Structures are given as structure tokens and as C-alpha cells.
A and B are shown apart, each in its own frame.
Chain A
Amino acid sequence: MLTSEMIETVDTIINEHDNNQSSIISILQGIQREYRYLPEEALNYVSDRMDISSSKIYGIATFYENFSLEPKGKHIIKICDGTACHIRKSQPILDALRKELSLSEDRITTDDLLITVEMVSCLGACSLAPVVNVDGVVYAKMTPSKTQALVRKIKEGQLSEDN
């Protein structure tokens, strides 16, 4: 539901970009930073306010991989599957993690909205392959068991949210 808080938040973001239609991608990025996904009501509001058709916004939101129309977990684990990580065996890390959290290719977020697991292509830390990025922090030379240990830390609330 569109709340007055949401209107205020979205307005601030739009104003930061001078209500400029060509800044729509940056505006959507701002909204996603705020809510960790793109809420439908926020998109509809942007569409009205900026006079951009909702189909166009939908088109952009679904084109770029970083945008999500589904709510994401509080913690986002990105497993790098760039070439270097792939060759140094990133797949087993993903498999282990999905097993640990009962997730799959289609179901990437845990039911309690605590953790989202994504496979991403190249985080640019190829020398330290395979790498895993948790909430923006890169963990180097990972193994399935090291990653599972990390997940347990998250579950126990030992990994602070803002690092």
C-alpha cells in the first residue's frame, strides 16, 4: 500500500534527480536502496509523478538484473560466478548454501526474509577467487564450509547489519 512515508521517501529521491526523466534508472536505484526491492506501489507513484508510463518503468525494472520486484532478505549473499571464481569452484559453494537454507534457483530468499542468495557475475576480486559478498563485504578464498559458517553467524545475529 502506498503510505505517506513512502510518498515522502520517493519524492525525496525524485527531487534529488530534479525530476529528470532520463535519471529514471538512478531513481529506481535509490528506491531499491531504500526498500531492498522495488515495491509496485512506489513504481506506480513514480509513473504518475514523473509522467512516465508504468509499462516503460516495468520494462526498465525488469531489464536490469540488479532490480528486483520481489522483496529481498535483510542480508544479501552474492556468490561470484565470474570466470575465475567458476574455475576455482564457486558452484559447490552455491549448492551448499542453497542446501543449508533450503533455497533453489527459483526461490532465492528465505521465508523469514532474513537471507537472499544470488549468483552474480564477477565482483572484480578475481585474485581472491572464489569470493562471496555478504551485504557489500567481500569474503576471499571461500569454501562451502566457510560460507556455511558465515550463514550461521548471520542467523545468530553475529554479523552486524551495517558492515
Chain B
Amino acid sequence: MNKELEHQFVTNLEKNQNIAHKICRIYTNDKDSHNDLFQEITIQLWKAYPKFRGDSKFSTWMYRVALNTAITLYRKKKRSIPTQDYDSVHFKIKSEEYDDEVEQHLKLMYDAVRQLNDIDKALVFLYLEDKNYAEISDTLGITEVNARVKMNRVKTKLKNLINP
């Protein structure tokens, strides 16, 4: 029975692992923390899996648990990480590849996203994942109206970060 559960879980996780990797991209700056967060997400998912009844899709459930993990973990560390130091390693590498103006702008955007707080990052992430407001509100456990209001605020925040 338990073996069966493990097999089911790992198969689902393997198919949907991109979700976790993308969350790690938004929340972490280097490969090591990416791997740490990924592992933490995996463990949290596995712990929560017995409670997953299958009344939603695995991916929907995974968005919720994985984002919660990232938010909780990030919140714990928040005080020790100054936002100024957020100049990320893998975006530095990326920046060498950015040659024209559009790409330069993209780099600025990514940097700005990294400076957002834990919840705002989750909002941006879900937006980038093409989720509609109903899905966003469901995943984050807030009302749809609240999600819209928050998203608008995030957009303003991003604008201010890019053109100070």
C-alpha cells in the first residue's frame, strides 16, 4: 500500500517538477539554494500527499503546497537577507547573454521581481504561469477581489522599482 503511494507520488512529481523548479527560480538566487528549496518542497509535498484526495489536479495541489513552502521558508529567512544584496548569481550570468535593449530590460524586470516580498513574488509567479484570478485566489487562499487589488499594487511596485 505504502509502496503504491510512493510510486504514485514520485510519478506525479516527476511529471510536474517544473512547477517546483520555477518557484525556486523566483525565490532563490543560486544553484545551492535552488536545490535546497526544491528538496524542501519535495519533502513537504510528500508529507502532505496522504491528505491529497485527488479532488483537484495534482498540479493545482502542487502549486498550493509548493508556494506555501517557499513563502514560509522565505519568511523565516527574511530578516537575515538584505534586499540590496539580491544581485543574483544566475542573473549575473544571464546578463552577459543579454545584448540588446529588450533583454537588458528583462534583466531589470527579473531583478525587480526578486526584490518583492514573499507574497508578491507568489502573485507574480502565478501571473507568469498564466493563471487567472480565480485560480490565483484559490491557490493563495485569498478572495478574487483581494487578488486583483494585490496584483495591481504589485504592478505599481514593479514599475517603481524599474524606474526609480
Are A and B physically bound partners?
no
